[in-house]
Structure 1
């Protein structure tokens, strides 16, 4: 498959081959990311204008768009500069006026000679009791009237491009369409009653009414599916080549796992057991595991991770668990240590802080295989770190999408199984777009013994009340997080906000009671502030960045979030999950600055009502859209031209299973449908997919 198939050449030609587009307009269209006829076809109309013909405007409710045949009457040029040029016209029953500002008489008398018949179309309004059409959209001699369809599509425009230009160019692009072989599973096409690709394109650009613009209109749904299918096919190819890379079979004996389970004060939840079974089965196969473990805050991912690491050890190998920061690595280490001791397994911590002789000793032990489980930051990937027999790598990515880390692991030539853990509940459609190359296990139950966190929504005007509530809590020996918002674009502004709040609380609550953590601090100071809070020396921790707060402090039972209305729902849910980790009742106070917009109020209410991260994430997706939800800039989410992840979410899952099924039957995409799918991949500019197509 060396290059683009010939059947697609016309669609990837120059834009200025289309009617009405010169070099200048082509430059303007590039602003809309439209560079070829194909791009123009993928810019579907977003609305439709009813241009059905009428005999007369009599009886119309004005204002309204009307299309009617008229006889041109008298011209009344403007009396003064900037005034209106008026032409009286008559339809089958009544008179009205065409009005032009800055109208040039010579041009208008040539266009509309008195006594001529014309088709006019535009918005009619009543002005001083007279019906007027100001700057009609169309004035055509009757022999050209067929140029206006009954329903005219309305396109997104950019500076220097008119509806007329877009309409004409799109019509030209539609003429380039050829019938392409069908790449969608025939059963799926039949079930949804979808048109073929060419027909769908034609229908999408020739809507017969508003219902044709709906996301579920057959032509639109089909074109959206094409995009999702091409995306999932690329991910499935990545998965296929990833799985072909040598996997290691690690078979569990259950010897170590059973010791840990016996030492636990409770039984794992059904969801945890299911996830452990899925992971154990993956590790036993000779294909490389690439699994995502998605669990809500407090759903017990750590236990599942430990069980997976024990499978590696039971099979005679080693496991590694990586966290994004030293603090989180330290915390994993402390959480896992008592359990590893129960199992009689050697667990060690390696971070960038290990220096000199100590580091050398750890590295030697690791290479000999004396260390069975290593916990660390990305420092575990440095050149001088060698494992005796690495079987499993767990990547814990608090808020950080680990596509890069996953790739790095693969590039290290480590055939180890990979488990990515994320505490961000992502709605299924987004999880598939983001992690479509992975298999997903979901933890959707909470372990016993956790009390729900009480959530209250309070205006910032009641700040003093909140602070005195805090004072009582501190007297009772409890601790509190106080999160300041990221107000400005600059961290410096955020800093001043946090410092002001810090000074204010320190003044009220006393010296040495309040700590501060922000993004600008040197790591050592940050660690010191965190440690002081963890040990209970400081009672209140003021923090700007959410990220630092991944710490587990069971004694912290209050979370105050200032300006909660400007945080994302998923983010607020994450923050709230930092309290309620001990047995005491915990509270989360969402402070907002009045007045609150309707959207803002609804978002905060969702949080007050629900503790279910997945349900919150679905709401977030509906309210804010996909890009916003995880910050498109860093989310690695694909940008789709037609598909709408919010409204067409169910199609994503179908596209994934269809793509995987096609590859299972035809790994090299050489069969009839496989070759059709190659055309689709070229059409969707997924050329990177071709590097992944298996040669065998």
Structure 2
């Protein structure tokens, strides 16, 4: 019997109302119910108060001595205290707003209380009290599961329902992992692990149960990715690019600077992929300033030599302009025609660009989301590159890819993704990483200062501008807000225009039209404007080597990855650069962000810490990332298990007898039953 096909209302007590409420929790079948795991446990095992840390939650059994006393605050609020002899340790127990218990408590009586332990005052603030012997017998010594519930579904009722489901259907839980993996990792049986995740008798049992189910969950997920990767490799026919390798080498040797070893490695990986007949599906990640644009330029040149058009999709018009300029400089001398396509073009400019694309007169097309709109027709699209790919939803990326007949696909990101997430969210892709910075990149000194240091910051900017350098000042808001006490760009612009005179100050923000933005950025790039006050519109794509100062106001309001991106706007020339984070953080997270930014400039280390602080969903943006909703596994804790599971899944999927061998056949059937098409893995 397949328990996923057994409706939950076969169980006693599940009427129509409860059935609907369970469905809201995602519980429709008995299998869903058995795998609806608790998010925490109430620990009713007796605590050793001599070892319990201050403010820990404890459970103690003790004999009352003295009479309970109650103090009232107004008509309804009360504080009741009783003295308790807990195994020779005399403590006080306090109950808030539970004065009714006074009638049930008397000297000499033995009770059990659970609550917060104040080690210094020898005091427990009670959250739960067990008075009768039968209650104590039933509860003490247990770990009790606590579930997320809603409406008519209460925790106690759900707990009993899950127990009843195990009694009736527990023997029908089928093993899915091959015996080889179970014995290799000494995993407990599946049915036992599922039961003990709900009803562990102790921490060791709970640990073994979680260990088994974490591995299973991550293994089955990676199995899907490896299967999709195998299908993609064997069934999706791509373009086998043919190009003159000597011309590509000449192009590389003619660059104004030598490639780093990491750049050469990823270029080799990408060009090898492009030569193969299968479709390339590769993620290129590298830190800010690591040289991804040059790598993209080399791939686009090889694609051009093969007789195909290339498309580069970027999230903002500023970035589109930047890439169009840099790629034109790289590729035009070699005969490739580079054009841009953005939403702010005039009707005539757009019509001309569309005509060039359709007739094959444009070899490289750089654009924003305008590239995926209906009228854009490519003559012969061979390579699609999306930059800052996590800013596009999976549907947007897929639409651009569908503009050609299975073109090669390269995703680029300057937000380094921790390996854990890269192999989870982009696990069906090949991943290339530029983990080396170009020679000559100066380390950026980063300081965290309080807001009262602003006058000194202004003097520092003045001093740098006096040396001929330039500065960014970043603010979180465009204009003044009554709701948030954050420095705003317009106010700072007005203040600095006065304070820094005769230094010229410019203003850039997202509400300006494209022509205004372009003019401000052009003036900044040409040093006609020395200080640029901006919102995070400069986070990606702005390249001004002469800028040596980055000031971020209300820095604690920004995420770590965003702060690192902003810092990467300076340090691009030969001069020493400084990043100043201005913040009076009111939260531990804000303080931690400031600490991390001042401790390291390594984007991969920062992304790891960002993942720890925010969690995987917020790190990538849940809606766009396609991040799986794991029931048991935690990507920040279980990354080693994930890597092992991935390796095992890859090996098993590649077995010739994978679909037929008795040990692996259940896994193949699992894949066939899964709706693999329900998640777009683009």
Asked if TM exceeds 0.5, the reply is yes
Structure scoring higher RCO (CA < 8 A, sep ≥ 6) equals 1
Alpha-carbon offset, residue 465 of structure 1:
0.8
CA distance 1:139–1:234, change in 2 (3 Å): farther
Which of 285, 305, 309 lines up with 1:314 in the alignment?
305
After the TM superposition, which residues 297-376 of structure 1 pair with which residues of structure 2 at under 5 Å, given as runs? 297-355=288-346, 359-376=350-367
Change (3 A) 1:258 1:506: same
Query: Does structure 1 residue 460 correspond to structure 2 residue 456?
Result: no
Deviations 1:67-118 (A, max 9, x none): 79x9xxxx99x9x99899999x99999xx9999854799xx99xx9xxxxx9
**Structure 1 residue 189 and structure 2 residue 189: aligned?**
no
Partner of 2:222: 232
Q: Deviations over 1:355-411 (max 9, x none)?
A: 556555544444444433232333333444333322111111265145233321344
1:9 aligns with 2:5: yes
Q: Please tell me whether the aligned partners of residues 367 and 388 of structure 1 are also in contact (alpha carbons under 8 angstroms).
A: yes
1:512–1:474 distance in 2 versus 1, CA, 3 Å: closer
SS in 1 for 2:628: coil
User: Offset of 1:466 from its aligned partner?
Assistant: 0.4
Residue equivalent to 1:205:
198
Residues 420-459 of structure 1: pairs in structure 2 closer than 5 A: 420-459=411-450
**Secondary structure of 2:257's partner?**
coil
Helix, strand or coil for the counterpart of 1:246? Answer: coil
- RMSD between aligned alpha carbons? 4.7
Q: CA deviation at 1:207?
A: 2.2
In 2: Cα distance, 1:638 partner to 1:90 partner: 50
Q: What's the offset of the Cα at 1:508?
A: 1.5
Q: Is the CA contact (8 Å cut-off) linking 2:315 and 2:392 kept in structure 1?
A: no
| Alignment gaps of 5+ in structure 2 | none
Q: 2: CA distance between counterparts of 1:90 and 1:448?
A: 70
Residue 42 of structure 1: aligned partner: 36
Paired with 2:570 and 2:454, the residues of 1 have a C-alpha distance of: 20
Q: Kindly state the Cα deviation for residue 648 of structure 1 after the two structures are TM-superposed.
A: 0.6
- Change in Cα spacing, 1:130 to 1:341, as seen in structure 2 (3 Å) is closer
Q: Distance in 2 between matches of 1:134 and 1:548?
A: 48
Aligned to 1:618, the other structure's residue is in SS state helix
Deviation at 1:484, TM superposition (A): 0.7
Query: How far is 1:334 from its partner?
Result: 1.5
C-alpha separation in 1, matches of 2:653 and 2:590: 44
Cross-structure match for 1:171: 163
Corresponding residue of 1:115: none
1:656 aligns with 2:632: no
- Measure how far apart 1:692 and its partner are: 8.9
Alpha-carbon distance change, 663 to 410 in structure 1, aligned in 2, over 3 angstroms: farther
Tell me the equivalent position of 1:249.
Answer: 240
Deviates more, 1:496-505 or 1:545-554: 545-554
For the 8 Å contact 1:482–1:540, the answer to whether it is kept is yes
Q: Which residue of 2 aligns with 1:627?
A: 617
State the 1:276 CA deviation: 1.1
Distance 1:477 1:581 in 2: 15
For structure 1, the residue ranges without an aligned partner over 5 or more in a row are 113-117
Q: 1:484 to 1:610 in 2, by over 3 A?
A: same
- Is 1:533 the counterpart of 2:524? The answer is yes
Whether the 8 Å contact between 1:453 and 1:585 is mirrored in structure 2 is yes
Q: Is the 8 A contact 1:666 1:674 kept in 2?
A: no
Instruction: Give the TM-score normalised by structure 1.
Output: 0.81
Q: TM-score, normalising length from structure 2?
A: 0.82
Change (3 A) 1:348 1:197: same
Contact 1:254-1:314 at 8 Å conserved across structures = no
Cα offset, 1:222, TM superposition: 2.2
SS at match of 2:597: helix
